[in-house]
């Protein structure tokens, strides 16, 4: 592989995201600094790992989102140490690692953890290896399954502080709402194939669901029993 100064590319990308106004907090900035994006792109794409654009994941028809989109989502999630997170759509594991960097520190003797669900077995293998190589395995569990049904599938227990969906849903999946804790947040793109609304969904202490529009976005379709079929 050709030698690149990835540290320099990473710092330049972070500077660009700050100028765009999408990278705001030290927690998210530090995560971008520490997680090497070049380790999560498809082999041969390392030279463009820090471009602010989606990157294709080989022949899986999936992508890593553009850094600016990831920054928007991470900032909106208001992550902190000790949180339990459900991620629907592992992809390469890059977003998973960024979240793990922020939440894995213990809070009240409880370490945060990411449960990530992926339906493409090739990506499970790819992401698992990437997470291992970057030393986030203790904070991440990756499972094969239908993320539209939550995890465990069709469980109605409120168990997650945060839920993030990295594919476009035609509507908000019912079991994701059920598994979100009171006081929790869910971030999900909802809409048609070519453009969606990124929604931030909160559940108040009484269980009331509140939807907030964040921005327009474009994601690959969320496939599953309660998604696109």
The total of other beta-carbon atoms located within 10 Å of residue 168's CB is 24
Q: Where are the beta strands (DSSP E) in 15-101?
A: 55-56, 63-64, 84-88
Query: Locate tokens 């969320």: which residue?
Result: 222
C-alpha to C-alpha distance for 33 and 174, rounded to whole angstroms: 35
65 belongs to the catalytic site: yes
- DSSP string computed for 121-187: HHHHHHHHHHHHHTT-GGGEEEEES-GGGTTTTT-----EEEEEE-SBBSS--HHHHHHEEEEEEEE
> Looking at 53, 56, 65, 193, which residue is catalytic?
65
Active centre residues (catalytic): 65
């Amino acid at each position: 592989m050709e030698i690149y100064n990835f540290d320099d590319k990473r710092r330049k990308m972070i500077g660009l995201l700050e100028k765009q106004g999408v990278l705001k907090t030290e927690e998210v900035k530090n995560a971008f600094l520490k997680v090497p994006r070049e380790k999560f792109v498809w082999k041969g794409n390392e030279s463009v790992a820090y471009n602010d654009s989606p990157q294709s994941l080989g022949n899986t028809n999936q992508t890593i989102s553009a850094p600016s989109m990831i920054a928007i989502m991470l900032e909106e999630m208001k992550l902190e140490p000790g949180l339990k997170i459900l991620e629907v759509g592992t992809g390469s594991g890059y977003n998973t690692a960024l979240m793990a960097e922020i939440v894995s520190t213990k809070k009240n003797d409880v370490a945060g953890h990411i449960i990530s669900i992926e339906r493409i077995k090739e990506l499970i293998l790819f992401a698992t290896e990437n997470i291992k190589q970057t030393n986030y395995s203790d904070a991440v569990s990756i499972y094969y399954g239908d993320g539209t049904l939550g995890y465990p599938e069709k469980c109605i227990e409120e168990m997650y502080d945060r839920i993030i969906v990295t594919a476009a849903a035609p509507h908000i999946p019912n079991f994701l709402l059920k598994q979100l804790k009171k006081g929790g947040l869910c971030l999900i793109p909802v809409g048609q194939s070519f453009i969606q609304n990124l929604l931030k969904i909160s559940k108040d202490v009484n269980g009331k669901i509140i939807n907030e529009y964040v921005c327009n976005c474009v994601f690959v379709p969320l496939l599953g029993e309660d998604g696109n079929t």
